[in-house]
Structure 1
Amino acid sequence: MQNIKLASAAGMMLAAASAAQAEPLIYGFQAEQFEYRDGDNGENVFVWDFDFVVGTDELKFVWRSEAEIVEGSGDFEGLENQLRLQFPISTFFDGVVGVQASTPDGLPDRYNAVLGLKGLAPGFLEVDADFYLSDHSFFRFEAEYEGLITNRLILIPSIEVTVPLEDDLAYDQASGGATIEVGLRLSYDLIDRSFSPYVGVNYEESFGGTADLIRASGEENGVGSIVFGARLMF
């Protein structure tokens, strides 16, 4: 009887190991924004925001990159790269841990640990909520909704809120002085979901001490843009 129990336990372990090995590998590339912004402040920029994902349902490795390149000079006004591990913590949400590097031209490099959540909130709202922790910590919340007008035509409102938790004068960031960016884009799935060109508008404004630092540096606070771009998924 003992031998039978041992054999049964061994069989269960082998089955579990086989199931784990058989778990399919997931990989893909998704660019939420790949666009040109025509700003009302006279500054035009190219913007990208993409994720490259590889892993399984239980653990994903994500490379996230965001950038703003000034037309003409080619300078990176903003450049962030992140390496993230993403794992399920509930039916609709994943936990996130990782590291982030911010390396725009003309500014000191910043490196942060990342702790956050990513998932689907009630109402089919896609959200990211992340703490970036270092000597210059900040919190960022992003939300996006895809409203189907037809099966191919999609209206996409979005919001991003960044709240500095500590002063970072080099980046014109003051503790508690939030920066809010809102957008509205109308996209069309030209090739399934692989290639979806869009047009839209984008607006960014800072508040509190951050707004004061921006004005003191001679830059304009509150910039609206007309955007042209495409969403990509492979």
Structure 2
Amino acid sequence: MNRHALPRLALAVALVACFGGPAALAQDDPHDLHQGHGQHAPALPTATDEADVDHSQHRPAAADDSGTDHAAMGHSMDHAGMDHSTMDHSGMDATAAPTQPRVPIPPLTDADRAAAFPELHHTMHHGDGVHGFLLVDRLEAWDGDHGTGQGWELQGWLGGDINRAWLRSEGEREGGETHAADIELLYGRAVSAWWDVVAGVRHDFAPGDSRSWAAVGVQGLAPYMFETQATAYFGESGRVEAVIEVEYELLLTNRLILQPAVEATFTGRDDADRGVASGLSSSEAGLRLRYEFTRRFAPYVGLVHERSHGGTADLRRDAGEPVHDTRWVVGLRTWF
């Protein structure tokens, strides 16, 4: 043996004797030695007394367990022996969607439908007392092939929710002459949520001599939001006339509204004084586009076409009057 090796061997024996022999050196945590910059960590307990030791006092929170012998510490990591059927894996699959809502939605019942859409009765009032309303639906002018002209159509009521007095009037002037004008005073009673029955009188100022009619009809809101008026008129000498008017409001925007309207007049017998014959005597179709600056102030532009039919058209030809007329109109719609 080399003489220089003897001192080294003696030093090694002394170190082993001082620190408890090879078993103690084998239990040193190499990471604790590295973190302590060369200082030796205290010896860990053996497997026999491990249950009595608090491991949290010997291992740092960020310690690396890669060098620790878990088998000696009594922790079994054998996953093959674990019962996975008892483990809840529902939170592990993030893509799986539940088949039912967390809070089940109850099925829709007849009671729910009745609550959402209550049936309106005559006993349901908007308020007690007498109220009134006046709508000037058409107040317009035009410059057509047969001269300038003006036209109007208005209706209003006074009363409550069930019983009302109605006022209706319409007419036309062209070339400084009144071609048609009438006024109606009617009593109306609501018979359903959307329909009224009306009865009263109508007085014609033109064409021809003034005359009066008894009137009866219905008015209201037909399915698909069509405003409808159907009125029959009974005059002297068995004269009968029926007028049907339907209009619809198409909201292009909250303020820009397109209003198509169709009106047809039927006559029961020939009336030469008024220039009408039996059957479908005349019809009118209009398309008006209005802009509501406010709900009460809405100017509009429109296109109107009028036509006479059957025997009425023949009577107008014989009198040298036009059978049909198409014109652009400008006007105002307002209400009070």
TM-score (norm 1): 0.86
- Cα distance between partner residues in 2 of 1:51 and 1:228: 20
* 1:170-201 deviation digits (Å, cap 9, x = unpaired): 1111011331100000001012x201000010
Distance 1:104 1:142 in 2: 20
Moved over 3 A (4+): none
Q: Is the CA contact 2:264–2:280 (under 8 Å) kept in the aligned structure 1?
A: no
2:281 alignment partner in structure 1: 178
Q: Percent identity?
A: 35
1:214 aligned counterpart, secondary structure: helix
Q: Read off the aligned partner of 2:312 and give its amino acid letter.
A: T
**Bigger strand fraction:** 1
Q: Structure 1 residues 177 and 213 mapped into 2: Cα distance closer, same or farther (>3 Å)?
A: farther
> Which of 112, 122, 125 is the matching residue for 2:223?
122
What residue number does 1:64 align with? 168
Structure 1 residue 28: Cα displacement? 1.4
1:149 aligns with 2:245: no
2: CA distance, partners of 1:231 / 1:120:
20
Taking the aligned partners of 2:143 and 2:217, their CA distance within structure 1 comes to 32
**Larger relative helix fraction:** 2
Could you list the runs of 5+ residues in structure 1 that have no partner in the other structure? 1-18
Bigger Rg, which one? 2
Q: Which structure exhibits the higher relative contact order, with contacts defined as CA atoms closer than 8 Å and separated by 6 or more residues?
A: 1
Pairs within 5 Å for 1:49-128: 49-71=153-175, 73=176, 75-104=177-206, 107-128=208-229
- Listed as ranges, the gaps of 5+ residues in structure 2 are 1-123
User: Retained in 2: the 8 A contact 1:52–1:64?
Assistant: yes
* 2:268 aligned with 1:165: yes
Partner residue, 1:32: 137
Give the partner amino acid of 1:39: G
Q: 1-side partners of 2:179 and 2:165: how far apart? A: 27
C-alpha displacement of 1:91:
2.0
Amino acid at match of 1:88: A
**Contact kept? 1:177, 1:211, Cα under 8 Å:** no
Whole-angstrom CA distance in 1 between matches of 2:331 and 2:210: 28
